[in-house]
Amino acid sequence: MDPGAADTLPADVAAAVYRIVREALTNIRKHAADATAVRIGLRSVAGGVEPRVANDGGAPARLGEQARGGFGLAGLTERAEAMGGRLAAGPAAEGGWELIAVLPLDGDRPA
């Protein structure tokens, strides 16, 4: 984690980061049983914060499906976009799977 990255987050951004990380870890548990390592990062970026969760497992067997009626990645993507941010998940360049979001801080959100 970048030093101080979490110290100045508005409450709603901190809650969104928490939900993103929690959902990513849930998805790893459900869909990447072969994963042996998980990396979670949080860093400051221009105008916002970037949570990233990556694992070394294979691609989910049911990519694109919503398992057990959950909202999963679709819900997180909608939440990020509603905040003026973005979220993407897919195969990582170094192998495995990653989820990266960029969430703007209060002063940088659309009106």
pLDDT of residue 4: 67
Report pLDDT for 86: 96
**Residue 1 forms part of a structural domain:** no
Split into its structural domains, the chain has a count of: 1
Q: pLDDT under 50 in the chain at which residues?
A: 63-69, 108, 110-111
Residue 5 resides in a domain: no
Q: Give the per-residue pLDDT at 58.
A: 75
Q: Is residue 29 part of a domain?
A: yes
- Write down the pTM of the prediction: 0.80
Under 8 Å between Cβ of 19 and 11: no
In what helix (H) or strand (E) does residue 1 lie, and over which residues does it extend?
A: none
The whole-number pLDDT of residue 66 equals 46
Which residue segment(s) compose the domain that 31 sits in? 11-48+58-108
Tell me whether residue 2 is in a domain.
no
